[in-house]
Amino acid sequence: MPEILLKNITKKFGDFVAVDNLSMKIEDGDFITLLGPSGCGKTTTLRQIAGLETPTSGEIYIDGVLVFSSEKLIDISPAKRGVGFLFQNYALWPHLTVYQNIAFGLENNKWSKERIKKRVDELLELLKISEFIKRYPAELSGGQQQRVAIARTLATNPKVLLMDEPLSNLDAKLRMEMRAELKRLHKETGATFVYVTHDQLEAMTLATKICLLKDGLLQMFNSPLDVYLKPLNTFVADFVGSPAINLISFKYNKIGKHKIKLVNEFFDFSFESNNELPENLGEEVTIGIRPEYIKVSETGKFEVEVYTSLPSGMETILGLIMNDSKRINCVVFGANDFSVGNMVKVDFIGSEIVLFNDQGIFAALGKLLY
With CB under 8 A as the contact rule, the residue among 42, 147, 152, 198 that binds other proteins is 152
With CB under 8 A as the contact rule, the residue among 61, 87, 136, 269 that binds other proteins is 87
Instruction: Indicate whether 93 belongs to the interface with other proteins (CB under 8 A).
Output: yes
3-state helix, strand, coil in the chain (%, to 5): 25, 40, 35
With CB under 8 A as the contact rule, the residue among 37, 75, 122, 323 that binds other proteins is 75
With CB under 8 A as the contact rule, the residue among 7, 24, 29, 105 that binds other proteins is 105
Q: What's the min distance (Å) between Cβ of 86 and other proteins?
A: 9
Please give the Cα distance from 215 to 65 (Å, whole number): 29
In the complex with other proteins, the residue whose CB is nearer, 71 or 279, is 71
CA distances from 112 to 15, 107, 125, 155, 267 (A): 49, 8, 20, 14, 73
> Residue 173: which residues within 8 A CB-CB, separation 6 or more?
none
For the chain, the residue count is: 370
Give first-to-last CA distance, the chain, whole Å.
53
Please give the Cα distance from 130 to 122 (Å, whole number): 9
In the complex with other proteins, the residue whose CB is nearer, 91 or 247, is 91
Instruction: Indicate whether 85 belongs to the interface with other proteins (CB under 8 A).
Output: yes
Instruction: Indicate whether 83 belongs to the interface with other proteins (CB under 8 A).
Output: yes
With CB under 8 A as the contact rule, the residue among 23, 25, 37, 109 that binds other proteins is 109
Q: What's the min distance (Å) between Cβ of 75 and other proteins?
A: 6
Compose the 40-59 pattern: x for residues touching other proteins by CB under 8 A, - for all others: ----------xxx-x-----
Residues that bind other proteins (rule: CB under 8 A) add up to a total of: 29
With CB under 8 A as the contact rule, the residue among 5, 17, 91, 361 that binds other proteins is 91
Instruction: Indicate whether 94 belongs to the interface with other proteins (CB under 8 A).
Output: yes
Instruction: Say if residues 108 and 116 touch (Cβ distance below 8 Å).
Output: no
Please give the Cα distance from 54 to 77 (Å, whole number): 10
Instruction: Indicate whether 76 belongs to the interface with other proteins (CB under 8 A).
Output: no
Backbone angles phi, psi at 77, to 5 degrees: -70, 155
Please give the Cα distance from 92 to 139 (Å, whole number): 12
With CB under 8 A as the contact rule, the residue among 25, 95, 113, 128 that binds other proteins is 95
